[in-house]
Amino acid sequence: MENLKKEGKQTGLAVVLVGDDSASKVYVSNKEKACEQLGIYSEKYTLPENTTEEELLSLIHKLNDDKKIDGILVQLPLPNHLDDKVIIDNIRPDKDVDAFHPVNVGKIMIGDFDFVPCTPAGIMELIKESGVPVEGKECVVIGRSNIVGKPMSMLLLHQNGTVTICHSRTKNLSDVTKKADILVAAVGIPKFVTADMVKPGAVVIDVGMDRDEDGKLCGDVDFSSVEPVAGAITPVPGGVGPMTIAMLMRNTVTASKNHKQII
Ligand code: GUN
CA of 169 to the centre of ligand 1 (A): 24
Active site residue 75: yes
- The per-residue pLDDT of the chain, averaged, comes to 96
Edge to edge, what strands does the sheet with 182-185 contain? 162-166, 138-142, 182-185, 203-206, 232-233
Supply the pLDDT for residue 256: 97
Q: For residue range 162-178, what is the model confidence (pLDDT) as tens digits?
A: 999 999 999 999 999 99
Q: Of 98, 181, 206, 220, which one is the catalytic site residue?
A: 98
Cβ contact 82:53 at 8 Å: yes
> What's the whole-model pTM score?
0.95
For ligand 1, atom 3, which residue shows the shortest CA distance?
A: 76
**For ligand 1, is residue 147 a contact (CB within 6 Å)?**
yes
How many whole angstroms separate alpha carbon 145 and alpha carbon 14? 24
The pLDDT assigned to 131 comes to 97
pLDDT above 60: residue 263: no
Is any atom of ligand 1 closer than 6 Å to the C-beta of 119?
yes
Q: Which of 98, 240, 248 to mutate to test the pocket of ligand 1 (most atoms within 8 A of CB)?
A: 98
SS percent in the chain: helix, strand, coil, step 5: 40, 15, 40
Dist CA 159 CA 138 (whole Å): 12
Residue 113's CB is within 10 A of a number of other CB atoms, namely 20
